Structure 1
Amino acid sequence: MSNIVFDIGNVLIAWDERAAFRSAFPDDASIDQFFAKVGFYEWNLEQDRGRSRSEAVAVANAEWPDCAPLLDQYFDRFPDTIQNKINGSWSTLHDLKSSGHRIFGLTNWGAETWPMAKELHPELTTAFEDVVVSSHEKLIKPDRQIYEVLTDRNNLRPDECTFVDDSPKNVEGARLAGWQALQFVGPDELRKSLKELELL
């Protein structure tokens, strides 16, 4: 038996960040220009670290006042960005669970959008023994401490944990914390890697 820890965004649930802005722009290239202008990914990461919506919008108003209404709207339109499950990953998760492995979640996710994810995808509330959500801990991957939150809270040995994440930095962070880790590039490749490790 092993402990399998899943990232959620782009491993179990596809994240299409542009979906929240398509009603405001003519095409994805224009959205990407907007993202570059406001440093969208860095701005969004601070919500994963625990910043509130009101604080995030205040920053936007101070730095890009013309863009702040669109960034504020992102929170309301967030469900548009996570409509699609990655079905092959869920099949693998359920097979791992049926094989007797313990299943956990570890995700960089904002506190005010996490309830939206659970409402849209109820499986997120039932699939895991425990989920560590970065914004709740005021820590983000690949900070070693967030991996230790999960192992400490659940009395797990790091060397008995296998982590699945799409980000190379987060995979490396898990390895530095003493975990085995796999970079997710697709459901078929994940299943093949888990079989090679004799976890499936």
Structure 2
Amino acid sequence: MQQNLTIKNIIFDFGGVVMDWNPRYFFKDYFNDDERMEYFLKYIAHDEWNAEQDRGRSLSEGTEIQVQKFPEWEKELRAYYDNWTRMLRADIPENVEVLRKLQHSDYELFGLTNWSAETFPYALENYDFFDIFEGKIVVSGTEKLIKPDPKIWHVLLERYNLKAEESVFIDDNPKNIEVAKSLGFATVHIIEEINLEKELKSLGLIF
């Protein structure tokens, strides 16, 4: 079991860690046809396309680009961001509970998220636990950088004068975890069976 008693900072990814977002929450009823829905999400409104909006491209520009490529899917593509809030189902309560416990600890809390600058304000306004971060959040869409590009971690480190070796990074994406490790962060990879509080305590955190 890895012990690290020098941790001062805890950095949270948001989607898949404290927020449950999935386009299927909207499109399942929209299509009422799982095969067609999965085709659309794999080949038309795919992750790579959505990631460009997270990187800073506007939702309208991203939509128009894809409509030009796939005019037969125009209605569905326009529905994507028009119904984005319905894809943000809820928070992930067990991990938000850990975040709330950490609020009263001696650790500094930060966010590092791949999220469109246009849609992130909705989450801020509708989920009060984001206030715990006191604005110390790096958003990919604002920075025009996106994980797993190491540059976005350097933005966080430099902006808040942090050291990677004094920080633990929490994310559900294995590529992001791999990069964070290479930069010197302790990491917690969120998968379904992981208990976040237990994992943090195994790193020597006390809260």
Normalized against structure 1, the TM-score is what? 0.93
Which consecutive aligned stretches of 4+ in structure 1 deviate over 6 angstroms post-superposition? none
RMSD after superposition: 1.6
CA distance, structure 2, for counterparts of residue 84 and residue 187 of structure 1: 19
Matched, 1:96 2:83: no
Q: Which range moves more in the overlay, 183-192 or 34-43? A: 183-192
| Preserved CA contact (<8 Å) 1:48 1:108 | yes
| Preserved CA contact (<8 Å) 2:100 2:129 | no
Q: Deviations over 1:3-22 (max 9, x none)?
A: 00000001001112112323
State the shift of 1:187 in Å: 7.7
CA distance, structure 1, for counterparts of residue 115 and residue 63 of structure 2: 17
State the shift of 1:186 in Å: 4.2
Q: Which residue of 2 aligns with 1:34?
A: 40
| Preserved CA contact (<8 Å) 2:18 2:91 | yes
Mark the CA change 1:193 to 1:109 in structure 2 (over 3 Å): closer, same or farther: same
CA distance, structure 1, for counterparts of residue 115 and residue 74 of structure 2: 21
Map 1:137-148 onto structure 2 (within 5 A).
Answer: 137-148=143-154
CA distance, structure 2, for counterparts of residue 24 and residue 94 of structure 1: 35
Map 1:112-131 onto structure 2 (within 5 A).
Answer: 112-124=118-130, 126-129=131-134, 130-131=136-137
Where do 5+ consecutive residues of structure 1 fail to align?
none
CA distance, structure 2, for counterparts of residue 43 and residue 10 of structure 1: 19
Matched, 1:160 2:153: no
Counterpart of 1:111, as a letter, is: A
| Preserved CA contact (<8 Å) 1:18 1:28 | no
| Preserved CA contact (<8 Å) 1:89 1:187 | no
- Alignment length, in residue pairs? 199
Mark the CA change 1:127 to 1:89 in structure 2 (over 3 Å): closer, same or farther: same
Where do 5+ consecutive residues of structure 2 fail to align?
1-6
Matched, 1:180 2:180: no
Matched, 1:106 2:112: yes
Q: Deviations over 1:96-153 (max 9, x none)?
A: 22121111000000111111222221322x1214010001001000111100111100
Map 1:67-82 onto structure 2 (within 5 A).
Answer: 67-82=73-88
Counterpart of 2:159, as a letter, is: R
Counterpart of 2:188, as a letter, is: L
